[in-house]
Amino acid sequence: MPVIETNGLYKIYNEDTVPVYAVNNISIQFDPKEFTCVIGPSGSGKSTLLNLIGGLDTPSRGTVTVAGQRIETMSESERIRFRLEHIGFVFQHYNLIPVLTAYENAAFIMQLQARPEEEIRERVTGLLEQVGLGGRFNSRPSELSGGEQQRVAVVRALASKPDFILADEPTANLDTKAAFNLLDMMKQLNEDEGITFLFSTHDQRVIERAGRVVTLVDGALHSDERKS
């Protein structure tokens, strides 16, 4: 059973005047444990597709089924709750909470889920050590490099064991070394944790490591290539 499935998905702006098809009739499935890139030129609809899948935006037409649940029919509050329980987010600009430490940022989602403190400590500590941030628990985001911040963001997204992680251009602000480190780490977590990763990216380094590359052009599905 796919973890994500869209059917006849559209996102149309200015539908009543001059329609702009940001997402144009996309029907696609993503299976568990996939490491997928969504690529395409600027304005091709990558981010819009991810927003629709993540329940941050509502489609003009079509359906989005995530972990067996239709999210386009949910209320906003239900979608927020659903995102909390099922989806991890990694952003281009890391978007850590500046007043919290690395540990607190990484534990933030689990705390919102009201998980037991002991479970949070065990899980977050383990993941931060796994991504090489064992000595930076108490550092604030401003004291971390870009690569370190993005690793904290990945741990934040991953810690609650979501069904999949949506990553919007996660390497765009990283230098080559940091980007490779991050990708290796995510690939490793993908294999170790069995969590599905779905990226939007322009970054060739990400594309090379992806197990599947979905290409969008003008909002429509142009190609869907699985690597062996």
Partner 1 sequence: MMLFKLAWRNLWRSKRRTWITISSVLFAVLLALFLESMDRGSQEVMVQNVVRYSTGYAQLQDTLYFDEQHIDNAMLCDEDCREKILRDFPDIAYTVPRLESVALAAGEEKTRVAFITGIDFEAEHRFNDIGERLREGDFFTGGEDEVVIGKGLARNLDLKIGDSLVVFGQGFQGAMAAGKFVVVGLVQHPVPDLNERIVFMPLHQAQWLFDAFDRVNHLKLVPHRLRHHQRVVDAINANPDYQALQAYTWEELQPELVQTIEFDQAGTLMFLLILYVVIGFGIFGTVLTMTLEREKEFGVLISVGMQRRKLAQVVFTETLIMNFMGVLLGIAAAIPVLLYFYYNPIPLGEGMEDMMAEYGMEAVLRFSLDPQFFYQQAIIVFGISMAIVAYPVIRVFRLDVLKAARK
Residues that bind partner 1 (CB under 8 A): 51, 54, 56-57, 77, 80-81, 83-85, 87, 89, 91, 95, 97-100, 108-109, 111-113, 156-157
Q: Which is nearer to partner 1, 98 or 116 (CB)?
A: 98
Tell the smallest beta-carbon distance from residue 156 to partner 1 (Å).
8
Tell the smallest beta-carbon distance from residue 1 to partner 1 (Å).
23
Instruction: With beta carbons less than 8 A apart as the criterion, state whether 6 and 72 touch.
Output: no
Which tokens hold the place of 81? 């709750």
Order of strands, edge to edge, in the sheet holding 4-13? 20-30, 4-13, 61-66, 69-70
Q: Which is nearer to partner 1, 4 or 210 (CB)?
A: 4
Tell the smallest beta-carbon distance from residue 84 to partner 1 (Å).
3
Tell the smallest beta-carbon distance from residue 80 to partner 1 (Å).
5
Tell the smallest beta-carbon distance from residue 202 to partner 1 (Å).
17
Tell the smallest beta-carbon distance from residue 211 to partner 1 (Å).
25
Side-chain half-sphere exposure of 209, counting CA atoms within 13 A: 22
Tell the smallest beta-carbon distance from residue 28 to partner 1 (Å).
21
Place of tokens 């490099």: 145
Q: Which is nearer to partner 1, 38 or 213 (CB)?
A: 38
Instruction: With beta carbons less than 8 A apart as the criterion, state whether 53 and 218 touch.
Output: no
Q: Which is nearer to partner 1, 48 or 215 (CB)?
A: 48
Cα dist from 24 to 13, 18, 164, whole Å = 11, 15, 23
What is the spatial distance between Cα 170 and Cα 150, in angstroms, rounded to a whole number?
A: 7
Q: Which is nearer to partner 1, 51 or 149 (CB)?
A: 51
What is the spatial distance between Cα 12 and Cα 24, in angstroms, rounded to a whole number?
A: 8
Q: Which is nearer to partner 1, 30 or 89 (CB)?
A: 89
Q: Which is nearer to partner 1, 84 or 207 (CB)?
A: 84
Under DSSP, the state recorded for 67 is: T
Q: Are strands 87-90 and 164-168 parallel, antiparallel or unpaired?
A: parallel
Cα dist from 143 to 13, 138, 166, whole Å = 41, 10, 26
